[in-house]
Amino acid sequence: MGRVTERRRVVRIRDGNVTTRADTLVGEEPLEVRVNGRAVAVTMRTPGDDFALATGFLVSEGVLGEAGEVARISYCSGGDTFNVVDVRLADGVAPPDVSLERHVYTTSSCGVCGKSSLDAVRTTARWPLPLSGPFGVAPGVLAALPDRLRDAQRVFARTGGLHAAALFSSGGELLDVREDVGRHNAVDKLVGRAYERGLLPLSDAGLLVSGRASFELVQKAVMAGIPLLAAVSAPSALAVDLAEEAGVTLVGFLRGTSMNVYAGAERLQRRAR
C-alpha cells in the first residue's frame, strides 16, 4: 500500500540563511473505484482507509445505504494492486447507472453541477432531514470545534498538506476524524467507516470540514443522513440551495466565536436557548 507520508530533501531559506534538510510530505496516489469489475471513478487520494473511501463514495452517489448491500470489497490483482478497489454488490442491489462512470480524475469540484442536480439528490436521498429532528447544537459548541479538529490532525501537523473532516456529537465530541489531500475524500472515508459499522443514517451527528462547503459536500451530508454541515470557509451558492432544499443546516466561516448560518438555523437556535 502507498505511504501516507514521504521524506524529501529540500533547500530551506530563512532570514537569508540557507540549509538543506529533510521535509515530510503527504502522499498522493490515484485510486480507481470499480463496482462489479467496472470502473466508475478515479480520485487522487492519500493512501489509507481505501475501502471506506470507496463505500463512502458509493453512498454519496446513491448506490449504497443499507447494511448488507456489499458482498465483498477487495484490492484488485495486477499492476498497481493497492490503487484499484473493486466493490462487489450483494445480490439484488442495483449497480450504478452508466452515467456515474467518470473515466477522469475527480477533484474537489467534481460531481454533477447545476440546478438539475438538486432534483437528482432529492430523488435519490434515502433519509429525510426534518428541521424538527432531534439533532441540535449550541453556537458555543460549534465555535470550539475547529481547534479540536486541528489538534486531532496528526498528519497535518507533520506535513501541513491535508484537509480534514470530522463527525461530531451535539455536545461537541469528535466521533471520528479523517484526513486526505481531498476534502471530499476525507468525508467519503468518514461516511464509509460509518457504513461499515452499520451506523447510517448519521442523524445524530454533525459534519465539520476544514475547507469550504461545496455543493458536493452538502450532497454527501444529505446522502448519509447528516443534518448539519459546518465549514471553516465559505459555501457556494449551489451548496446553500441544496442545503435549503434538503433541510441541512449549513454553517460557514466558522472561525473563533463567529460564524454565518446559511440554512437551517433552527438547529442552532433550539440549543442556544
- pLDDT tens-place string over residues 38-70: 999 999 999 999 999 999 999 999 999 999 999
pLDDT in tens, 172-197: 999 999 999 888 999 999 999 999 99
110 is catalytic: yes
Taking the CB of residue 130, how many other CB atoms lie within 10 A of it? 9
Q: Are 194 and 174 in contact (CB under 8 A)?
A: no
CATH architecture of structural domain 139-272: 3-Layer(aba) Sandwich (3.40)
Dihedral of the alpha carbons of 209, 255, 130, 205, in degrees to the nearest 10? 50
Mean pLDDT of 13-21: 89
pLDDT of residue 113: 42
Q: Are 200 and 222 in contact (CB under 8 A)?
A: no
pLDDT in tens, 94-145: 988 765 554 444 543 344 444 456 677 766 889 989 888 889 999 999 999 9
Largest Cα–Cα separation, the chain: 66
Produce one character per residue of 89-117: b if its CB has 16 or more CB atoms within 10 Å, e if not: beeebeebeeebeeeeebebebbeeeeeb
pLDDT of residue 21: 85
| 110, 174, 175, 265: the active-site residue | 110
Q: Are 37 and 19 in contact (CB under 8 A)?
A: no
pLDDT in tens, 84-104: 999 999 999 998 876 555 444
Q: What is the 3-state secondary structure (H, E, C) of 145-164?
A: HHHHHHHHCHHHHHHCCCEE
C-alpha cell at 270: 433550539
pLDDT of residue 116: 53
Given the C-alpha cell 533547500, which residue does it identify?
Answer: 11
Is residue 106 classed as helix, strand or coil in its secondary structure? strand
Whether residue 149 is predicted with pLDDT greater than 50 in this model: the reply is yes
| Ranges assigned E (strand) in 172-248 | 174-180, 206-209, 228-231
